[in-house]
Amino acid sequence: MAKHEVTMTINGQSVTAEVDSRLLLVHFIRENLDMTGTHIGCDTSNCGACTILLDGKSVKACTYLTVRADGAEITTIEGLAPEGTNHPLQQAFHDQHGLHCGFCTPGMIMRSVDLLKNNPNPTEEEIRWGISGNLCRCTGYNNIVKSVQQAAKEMAKEKEATV
């Protein structure tokens, strides 16, 4: 198996490693870097449990080769907010009971980060379509929608305060 050297930034830390051509990014993150917050729920890019931010965009890491991420800047759920603090989305999922078993939660939150970046004030319908690449089997989505709505409001306030 051909090996390739890759270098990327993950949660602010530079990482260099030698990896197999076929190694999926989600396995690199989980197995090689021992960051297990990014989950695997299917093999077909349907469930979105493996969603991370790659150069600022939400990406399903189960269908992304590690070699392709060479030079990329990656954020996983572990790096979304400084330790001991919450990103507004993490706070909102807690406040609005937007999680039950927690398995889809990291992917759902990472996807929502991208959603709110591109659409800071989404309607309910836009949120539902915006997270439709991520499956949740527990919550029925009502409270995930509310969580994203709360975070949008909080982030708008924060933005206003910094202007």
Partner 1 sequence: MFKCKTSAEVGGMGHSVKRKEDARFLHGKGNYVDDTKLPGQLHMVMVRSPYAYAKIKSINKEKALAIDGVLAVITGEDLAQYNLHWMPTLLSDTQMVLPTDTVMHQSQEVCAVIATDRYVAVDGAEAVEVDYEPMQAIVDPFKALDDDAPLLRPDKEGQEDNQIYHWERGDRAKTDEVIANADVVVKERIYLPRIHVASIETCGCNASYDKDTQKLTVYLTTQAPHAIRTVVALVAGHVGLSEEKIRIISPDIGGGFGGKVPVYPAYVVAIAATFLIGKPVKWIEDRSENLVNGFARDYHMDCELAATKDGKIQAFKVSTLADHGYTDSSANPSKYPTGMFSICTGSYDYEHAFAELDAVYTNKAPGGVAYRCSFRVTEAVHAIERMVDKLAAEIDKDPALLRFENFIKKEQFPYESPLGWSYDSGDYKATLEKAMEMIGYDDYKKEQAEKRAQGKLMGIGICTFTEVVGAGPSKDFDILGIAMFDSAEIRVHPTGKALARFGTKSQGQGHETTYAQILAEELGIPYTDIEIDEGDTDTAPYGLGTYASRSTPTAGAAAAIAARKLRDKGKKIAAHLLEVSEEDIEWEVGKYFVKGAPEKSKTIQDVAFAAYTNIPPGLEPGFEATHYYDPPNLTFPNGAYICVVEVEEETGAIDVKRFVAIDDCGNIINPMIVEGQVHGGLTQGIAPAMYEGIEYDDEGNVLNGTLMDYLVPTAVESPHWETGHTITPSPHHPLGAKGVAESPTVGAPPAIANAIIDAVAPLGIKHLDIPITPAKVWEAIQAQKAKA
In the bound complex, what is the minimum distance in angstroms from residue 163's beta carbon to partner 1? 28
123 Cα distance to chain centroid: 21
In the bound complex, what is the minimum distance in angstroms from residue 56's beta carbon to partner 1? 19
Q: Which residues would be at the binding site for partner 1 (CB under 8 A)?
A: 20, 22-23, 27, 30-31, 34-44, 46-47, 49, 76-78, 81, 86, 90, 93-95, 97, 99-106, 109, 124, 127-129, 131-145
Name the residue nearer to partner 1 (CB basis): 125 or 160: 125
In the bound complex, what is the minimum distance in angstroms from residue 10's beta carbon to partner 1? 12
Name the residue nearer to partner 1 (CB basis): 34 or 160: 34
In the bound complex, what is the minimum distance in angstroms from residue 120's beta carbon to partner 1? 19
Name the residue nearer to partner 1 (CB basis): 72 or 144: 144
Query: In angstroms, what CA-CA distances link 153 with 57, 82, 119, 122, 143?
Result: 21, 21, 12, 10, 15
Name the residue nearer to partner 1 (CB basis): 7 or 132: 132
Name the residue nearer to partner 1 (CB basis): 6 or 161: 6
In the bound complex, what is the minimum distance in angstroms from residue 158's beta carbon to partner 1? 18
Q: Which two tokens stand for residue 82?
A: 């400084």
